[in-house]
Structure formats: C-alpha cells, structure tokens
Amino acid sequence: MRVLFWRGIRDTIDSRWVESLVARLDVASGSFSASIDLAEEMARAAIAVEQALDVLLPPVEGAEGRLAEAMRYAALGGGKRMRAFLVLESAALFGVNETCAARVAASVEMMHAYSLVHDDLPAMDDDDLRRGKPSTHRAFDEATAILAGDALQCRAFEILGEHDTHSDPMARCELVVALGAAAGARGMAGGQMIDMLAEGQVLDGPAVTRLQALKTGRLIQYSAESGAILGRVASQQRHLLTAYGRDLGAAFQNADDLLDVEGDAAEIGKTAGKDAAAGKATMVSVLGLELARSHADMLARQAAAHLDGFGDRAANLRALAAFVVARRR
Amino acid sequence: MRVLFWRGIRDTIDSRWVESLVARLDVASGSFSASIDLAEEMARAAIAVEQALDVLLPPVEGAEGRLAEAMRYAALGGGKRMRAFLVLESAALFGVNETCAARVAASVEMMHAYSLVHDDLPAMDDDDLRRGKPSTHRAFDEATAILAGDALQCRAFEILGEHDTHSDPMARCELVVALGAAAGARGMAGGQMIDMLAEGQVLDGPAVTRLQALKTGRLIQYSAESGAILGRVASQQRHLLTAYGRDLGAAFQNADDLLDVEGDAAEIGKTAGKDAAAGKATMVSVLGLELARSHADMLARQAAAHLDGFGDRAANLRALAAFVVARRR
C-alpha cells in the first residue's frame, strides 16, 4: 500500500485523485520492473506539480472567474505528468532548489494543457473526451476553451520570467527562449499544423519523424533541458539532457503509436494497418509493427545512454526511458 | 507630399501600404492639429515595426509553412500601429536603442494580432472582416487561425527573452512578466471573457470601465510602460508612463464607442441607444453621449498631464492623447 508518501499534501489535493493516479501508473507499469519504484516516484512528482499549479493558476474570482475555472479544469488533476517528472528529475541532477523546479514543471504542464485544450476543439481534432472527462470546450464552451488555452500559455511564460523561478534573470530568459522555440511555429504549434495538413496524406519516414518531433517531441525535450538551464551547468551537460529528451520524446511517441495498434490487436483481433487505413501517418504505418517496436526500443536505450555519465543520480530518468516503451497505456 | 521619409525602406514593404496608411492617418486626424505632424510620426513608427515584424516572424518554409503564412497575414501590413508607436515613443524618452525598442514594438503587435485573430473566430465574435480584408480564419481556415494566434503569442514572449531585446536580462524578465500580466487571465484574455459573458447583460459604469481596462487597456498600458522598462529608469518615471498608458487606453476605448454612435448619427440619423439596444455595454450607454464625450476628453487631458515632467520630449505622446479623442476613425 502506497499511502504514506503523500502525508502533508495540501488539503486542496483530492486524495482519491492520488490513489487513482498511482493505480493508473501501476497498470501502465505492467510487467515493467526497475530497481526503483517508478510509479511511486512519478506520483510524487505529480503531487508536487499539482500543488504548484494550484498556487500558480489564477484564483476563481471576479467577473472573469469562469476563465480561471476553465484553466483549472484543463490543467489540474489529470495526466501522468511525465513532463513535470522530467523537469523535476533533470533539475535534481544538478541540485536545483525544488520549489524553483516545481514552478518550471507547472509552467510546462500549463503549456501541455493549453495544447490539449486547443487540439480538442471542433475545428481541430474535435475530441469530446480528454483524460476520462469531457474536454474543456464540452465542459464549458468553445469561446471559453479558446481563451483558457490562450491564458494558460500566457501564464506559462509569465511564470518563467518571475523572480521566484530562479535568482539569476539570465536563467529565466533562457527558459523563456527555450520554451518559445519548443512551443512555437517551428515547434509544437508547427507540428500540429503539419498534422492537420497531413490528414489523408501519405508521409514517408523522415516526414513522420519530423511531425512527431515538432508536435510532441520538442516540449518533452525542453522539459529535460530545463533542469540543466536551472542548474546553470556547462553546455556539454545541457546537450546531454537535450539529447536524452529528444530520443525519449521519439520513443514515447513511437510507443504510443504501437499501443494504439497492439491495443486494437488484443481487443478486436486486428493488427497493423488500421491507422494507415485511417490516413494517420505513424512509424507503424511506415515501418510495420516489428520494426517499429525495435525502433522504439532502440530509441529508449539511446536516450538512457546519454545519461551514462550521471551515474546513479539519473536512475529515475533511465527508468523512465525503459518505462515509456514498456508501458501498457 | 510625404514621400521622402520612407527612403531606405526594405523592398519587402509595399510602398502602396505606406501611402494608404498615411492617407488613413490623415483622414483620422481630420481637423485635429498639433505642433507636430502626428500622422507622419505614426507612419514612421509603423514602418519601423513592419520591418521588425518581417524579420522576427518565422519564414514561410517547410511542411508547416502554412502556419508562418497565416501568422504573417495576421500580423503584417495592417492597423494604425498605435501600440508600436507607444513603445517607440516611450523608449525614446529614455534614449533607448531603437533596434531594441522596435523588437518590443513588434512583440506587442504580435500579441495584439493574436488577440484579433482569436476574437474574430466563429466561436467568439464571428467577424469575417478585419482591417478591410478577410479575417484570418476566412482567408485560411479555423484550425490554421487558432494555431496562428497561438504561435504569435508564443513568438511575442520568445522575442522578449532574446538577448538582442536588451543587454540586461533583468529588463527582459520584467518585460515578460509585465506582458504576462497585461495579456493573461486578469488582463486581455480576462477582459475578452467578461465581454463574452456580458452579451445581453446590463453593466454599470464601474463594470464597463473594468471590462475595457482589461480587454484593451492593459495592453496599451503595457506598451507605454515597456519603454520605461527598457530604459531601466526609477520606478517613479515608470509609474508615470503606466498612468499615462492607463488613461490613454481608457480614452481610446471611450472614443471608439463614441465613434460608433456618432458615425451612425451622421449616417442614419440615429443617436445614442443603438449599442445599448444591442446589449453592448459602453460608456455611452452608461453616461449618455454628452457626458461620455466629456469623460473621454477628460481622460485624454489626464493622460497627457502625467507627462508634464518630460517636457518637449513627450510632445508626440501628448499629441497622441489628443488625437485618440479627436480622431474620426
């Protein structure tokens, strides 16, 4: 029973959410085993970022209170918080103050939440459900969802500029610039643009790799890199974290595509080809199931290898790389 | 003939756009007269920010090129560039490097452009036209417009964090935080939320004032304040610019509401009451035409008065305050 580790959690955090998160991470772990209990480590990070988000999101008050309500709905109490975990673990490598790291983790989860809110809109992927509950535009309305995404992105950048995020303003500026590059027209937003344009198109391997690198990879990469920025370390160490994040992001996305196919296989007796038939370009449609699986495993090993020089301190980050390709959901 | 002052403009700027801008500013000036030629001063600022935008917006290339195209469509070649003028003029008060100021001016115009793109969406104000041409979601499509707005906001923050914007990273952080406060849930986005919720509601004077202060006032205020941030001046001087921007923004919005009513009056023989009947809350509906006019004039005089201590150097900013309430469009 994992009940002891969340003693001292703020009352604002629903303990049922923590229990369900640990249960979900346990299921996801499946037969995955490591020398550390990764599900518990990730739950711990999720709680830290939940507390930070609660403090850093605007309060629900005033005539504009509905906007804060929608921002909180979109950003609180959901997801595995992998990006937050990456920020906290990479920052811990360099002995960064945990409160500072939690602010950056909250900022990146706000960016991630904004992208999900906008991606779910009727004009985009038109999804009614997100993380097991109605998507933001279904729970509120489209206008509120657009504004909530806008305000989440705005707050994510604002947090990075604030003094409490790091005593050195140069570190804060580097975080702003790195997040801007990761999330903008040649990062996450650009990737979503390609994804919208690619519907029904046949993409080759390099095109799929680039789409995924922009759409999901760059923000995951930034999450790992941000710990090195906070740690004010030499560029060589920063490059190692960046390389880890880049390969981890690619492994994560490939594993996601495999889960879609293999989940279907177990459920309805179909194998690869469904995504391809639906016009969705993935590495499975490009490489086939077998090769895509070994490609994902190779990426995960490659990600972990970048961290060899950090020794045991990087055990959690290495375990995460193994986890993203072994997980069951 | 005002043709000489834009010698040396980059070839990428359409000289017809410059001519039409000067013509529009001339019409807007109407019987307004000042010791300076404000239309020419504003056109000069508009050209400087147009050049900066062209350099700072992403190039149209790669599979995601359509996104950059939409960002450029939304941000280039339109508007009076009042916010850019405010940044450049307030920065000039303190001898700030013009290239740095033009970057901040481009950043704030990107934020303004993003807000217009999202406000025009069908789920929001559903406008087909903007600045005399199809709104971005009409010229492209809804998904592209949402992403273009998102990427414009992202780039606006990224620019502020970049080294070329100011040699002192503390100044860059202050710009990020001030823009975040101006544009977020308790600023521009919050104001748009209130505006959406207020449709068909009766708002009283204080509620209308707050709506307008958030929706349009805060970004105008930030534009004036940013020059003081760039100038690294004492807080007293920064407060004067902030106060000027706040009153100018309120005067501008009130004058806008008056123009709507008085434009109608000249055209279809109706006076005040149309906005009120449409459920649109403005200071005209709250105060009536006469009082709203004197209220706007009072705000403009109050704005200019904050700058008394700056002497002749603030002549353009004082002229702008007089202009926003005297303009015909």
Neighbouring CB atoms inside 10 A of B47's CB total 21
- B114: nearest CA in chain A? A150
**pLDDT for res A138:** 97
**Residues of B with CB below 8 A from A183's CB?**
154
How many Å lie between the alpha carbon of A305 and the closest alpha carbon of chain B? 31
By 3-state DSSP, what share of chain A in percent is helix, strand and coil, each rounded to 5?
75, 0, 25
> Would the CB atoms of B124 and A141 count as touching at under 8 Å?
no
How many Å lie between the alpha carbon of B56 and the closest alpha carbon of chain A? 12
Mean pLDDT of A60-89: 96
Q: Residues A218, A187: contact at Cβ < 8 Å?
A: yes
Q: Which residues neighbour B269 within 8 Å (Cβ) at sequence distance 6 or greater?
A: none
- pLDDT tens track for A32-60: 666 668 888 999 999 999 999 999 999 99
Q: How far apart are CA B219 and CA B207, in angstroms?
A: 18
**Residues of B with CB below 8 A from A140's CB?**
none
Neighbouring CB atoms inside 10 A of B236's CB total 9
Of A176, A189, A194, the CB nearest to B161: A176
Mean pLDDT of A80-94: 97
CB-based contact, B128 to chain A, within 8 Å: no
- pLDDT tens track for A198-216: 988 888 999 999 999 999 9
Q: Residues B223, B303: contact at Cβ < 8 Å?
A: no
In the stretch 191-230 of chain B, residues with CB closer than 8 A to chain A read: 191-194, 196-198, 207, 210-211, 214
CB-based contact, A285 to chain B, within 8 Å: no
What are the backbone angles phi and psi of residue B168, rounded to the nearest 5°? -95, 115
CB-based contact, B170 to chain A, within 8 Å: yes
How many Å lie between the alpha carbon of B190 and the closest alpha carbon of chain A? 5
**pLDDT for res B39:** 85
Does the pLDDT of residue B84 top 70, yes or no? yes
> Would the CB atoms of B161 and A173 count as touching at under 8 Å?
yes
Neighbouring CB atoms inside 10 A of B192's CB total 26
Mean pLDDT of B206-228: 96
**Residues of A with CB below 8 A from B186's CB?**
58, 62, 64
Q: Which residues neighbour B55 within 8 Å (Cβ) at sequence distance 6 or greater?
A: none
CB-based contact, A172 to chain B, within 8 Å: yes
- Higher local confidence (pLDDT), B299 or A9: B299
Amino acid at A227: G
Q: Which residues neighbour B176 within 8 Å (Cβ) at sequence distance 6 or greater?
A: A157, A158, A160, A161, A172, A173, A176, B157, B160, B161
Instruction: Report the mean per-residue pLDDT for chain A.
Output: 89
What sign for the dihedral angle of Cα A215, A216, A217, A219? positive
Interface test with A, best of B72, B114, B154, B226 (most A CBs within 10 A): B154
Provide the terminal-to-terminal Cα distance of chain B, rounded to the nearest Å.
22
Q: Residues A154, B156: contact at Cβ < 8 Å?
A: no
Q: How confident is the model at residue B171 (pLDDT cuts 50, 70, 90)?
A: very high
What sign for the dihedral angle of Cα B74, B75, B78, B81? positive
> Would the CB atoms of B146 and A121 count as touching at under 8 Å?
yes
Q: Residues B329, B28: contact at Cβ < 8 Å?
A: yes
> Would the CB atoms of B192 and A147 count as touching at under 8 Å?
yes
How many Å lie between the alpha carbon of A63 and the closest alpha carbon of chain B? 6
Q: Which of A217-226, A230-239, B273-282 has the lowest mean pLDDT?
A: B273-282
> Would the CB atoms of A197 and B160 count as touching at under 8 Å?
no
Q: Per residue in A132-155, is it b (16+ CB within 10 Å) or e — as a string?
A: eeebbbbbbebbbbbbbbbbbbbb
CB-based contact, A55 to chain B, within 8 Å: no
- pLDDT tens track for B249-300: 999 999 988 988 876 544 433 444 455 555 677 888 889 889 999 999 999 9
**Residues of A with CB below 8 A from B209's CB?**
none
Q: Residues A103, A97: contact at Cβ < 8 Å?
A: no
Which H or E run contains A262? Answer: helix A235-268
- Higher local confidence (pLDDT), A328 or A6: A328
CB-based contact, A64 to chain B, within 8 Å: yes
CB-based contact, A67 to chain B, within 8 Å: yes
- pLDDT tens track for B86-118: 999 999 999 999 999 999 999 999 999 999 999
Q: How far apart are CA A59 and CA B5, in angstroms?
A: 50
Of A154, A179, A191, the CB nearest to B189: A154
Does the pLDDT of residue A322 top 50, yes or no? yes
